[in-house]
Copies of this chain bind each other. A is one copy, B any other.
Amino acid sequence: MATHSEAAICRVHFNPGNIDVAVERGSSLLEAANQAGVGLIAVCGGAGTCGNCKVLLEEGVVETNRTIKLSDEDYNCGFRQACQSKVMSDLRVRVPVGFKLDNKNLTRKIAKTTEEILSGRALTTGWRFSPPLRKYFLKLPQPTLSDNISDLSRLLRSLRKEHNLSEITVDFDILKKLPEVLRDGDWQVTVTMLTISVDSKPAATRKQSKIVNIEPGDTSGKHYSLVFDIGTTTIKSQLLDLNHGLVVDEAVEYNSQITYGADIITRIVYCQKPGGLKILQQAVVKSINTIIHRLIVNSDIDKLLIGHISVAGNTAMTQILLGVDPKYIMMLPYTPTANYFPTIKANSIGIDVCDHVYLTTSPLVASYVGGDITAGVVAAGMHRTKKLTLYLDIGTNGQIVIGNSSWMVTAACSAGPAFEGGEIKHGIIASDGAIEECEIDLSNFEPEIRTVGGVKPMGICGSGLISIIAALMQSGIIGQNGHFNTEIKSDRVRQGDDGYEYVLARGVNTESGNDIVITEIDIDKLIRAKAAIYAGFRTLMNSVGFESKDIRRVIIAGAFGNYINIDKAIVIGLLPDIPRNRFKFIGNGSLTGARMAEFSTDITNAVGRVACLMTNVELSEDTNFMNNYMAALFLPHTNIDEFPTIDKKLMDQKAGKYGAN
């Protein structure tokens, strides 16, 4: 292969994967990777500021714009940021493991949550099994001259007589095929009906039953639907058996949009490019279709038997999926387009299911409090309890709900990407090799680390970060302000390119051969992230006249939340210092809520009511929030009285190590 070609078309060969792709000379290497289906995680959306899309150039020439995200060492090895590089010749490119979207990285997570979810992780009670999608087998009397009402009237009459169903609408496409289906089935047919709202207000009690399919004969024995949690990073799905209320199978995929930016804002910005919204919509649909294909193949279920799709996602993900421009979500004063989107045909947006399948989205509250939260709150049973409850979904954006069955307030705050390993020097997503736990030996300041998959360390994920910082703090290596204690006598603490840092793993022990460190800048980023979350729920709580100690239940939701060590999260001041038994994990509340809504119209209705019940509070311009945020930029907090048990621990630690102050 020539190392330099003058031809207008260049071939780029990616490894691992052995994928070739032809691009025009001068094209972006990131785009070439996208074209090749090599999912690089461009956290910053191609701006060059995250450094996550770096690849090893093994052969060929690129024109690159070097940023501070590439160390001398990496640069000299041949690493380049794909987003900053133009393809100038045929290339051989190696994508470092851990920076590539590889579906097997998700197995750890799902392996754990599968079991939890299948065993009925939902915390709510008091609902009947009554799926909004139902099949009814009907034996109709044949028409005669003295009973020659229209085919549809005959059908409606039987539905009324045999199932007490009335106020039914019918899809026009179904009506067109009705006469042939009735006769093909010799007047024995199976009708699929979907209960949908007759109102754009999600709390509407007015519902209509819509005939969405009709088939000859009795097909009522098999009846499935799909639920999706559309996350910014991952898409999780379950295939549901609607006859028996069972989860048949589940699957997870990275959201293909990730190659266009890691966070919501980057995605919304991308949507403003010409054709950008369509590209992102197609990207998420591609991931959904991959999941659908895998689920039906694995379960050996005919695609025809899937009758409905239900989706819960944050507001931006919901709007992008539906092709509704999310522009105003990120512009003051942050208005979403609607709280409740009409039910649409799934294949109208490219989802690979049969014509009759409708897609319903979970109602949302505000630009940053989406359908994932309304579904999760109901899954947690928060709408049925009188106990004051705090619902927390921690991620790049933190979503907070406080209230009970009578009232709910909600807010969102931006924590930045730190909890997902983003913009941390050695931060990576929670894939194999990510440091997820860390203890530090108080005697010699040596760390004991645990990685995802138990393999050689490759970087630090969000839960690892919390664990590391708690350990650094509890060992006295860093102070409450997050600065390194330079009195520590250990070569683990040293001056690096970015100031002081702590060596978590030495090069001899790591996958890359380079040291893995945590820097003072990283620690500062985590402190800002945890301060935003803490200030968020504190401000929201104060706005309704409560304090942390009043909270009777804390629901921790989200994939990240699943892996938080409560004690350590309290140590760093991320979570309030209240009795540990008040904390409950709900895992993927969004998917659980969406699934339950497929099993019960009680839940569907409850999600709608919750969406209307919630009052959204905007924190971004709130001075109380800013004050709370400033006060929380400390480990665990400037006001140590808010963390009585940590106060005591810190005193104990210090006493043990340095003697009493």
Contact = CB atoms under 8 A, between A and B. Distances in A.
A335 interface: yes
B336 A172 contact: no
Interface stretch (A72-80, A141-149, A267-275): A141-149
Contact of A152 (B147, B198, B338): B338
A338 B150 contact: yes
A546 interface: no
Nearest to A167: B199
Interface string A180-205: 10000000000000000011110010
Interface in A329-379: 332-342, 344, 364, 366-367
Copy number in the complex reads 2
B333 A179 contact: no
Contacts of A180: 325
A172 B621 contact: no
A324 interface: yes
A175 interface: yes
Nearest to A328: B179
Given A169-B199, A175-B342, A325-B179, A146 B618 contact: yes
Nearest to A620: B145
A180 B367 CA distance: 17
A638 interface: no
A153 interface: yes
Given A200-B168, A341-B172, A148 B325 contact: no
Nearest to A207: B198
Nearest to A332: B145
Contacts of A332: 145
A143 to B, nearest CB: 5
A124 B204 CA distance: 37
- The size class of the interface chain A forms with chain B is 35 or more
A151 interface: yes
Given A327-B179, A341-B172, A206 B167 contact: yes
Interface in A569-622: 616, 618, 620-621
A334 B148 contact: yes
A163 interface: no
Nearest to A208: B198
B150 A337 contact: yes
Contacts of A179: 325, 327-328, 335, 337
Contacts of A170: 200, 338, 342
28 contacts: A143-B333, A143-B335, A144-B333, A145-B618, A145-B620, A150-B337, A150-B366, A151-B336, A152-B337, A152-B338, A153-B339, A154-B335, A156-B200, A166-B199, A167-B198, A167-B199, A168-B200, A169-B199, A170-B342, A171-B342, A172-B322, A172-B344, A175-B324, A175-B337, A176-B325, A178-B337, A198-B206, A198-B208
Given A146-B618, A151-B335, A198-B208, 9 more contacts: A149-B335, A149-B366, A150-B339, A154-B335, A168-B199, A169-B199, A176-B325, A179-B327, A198-B206
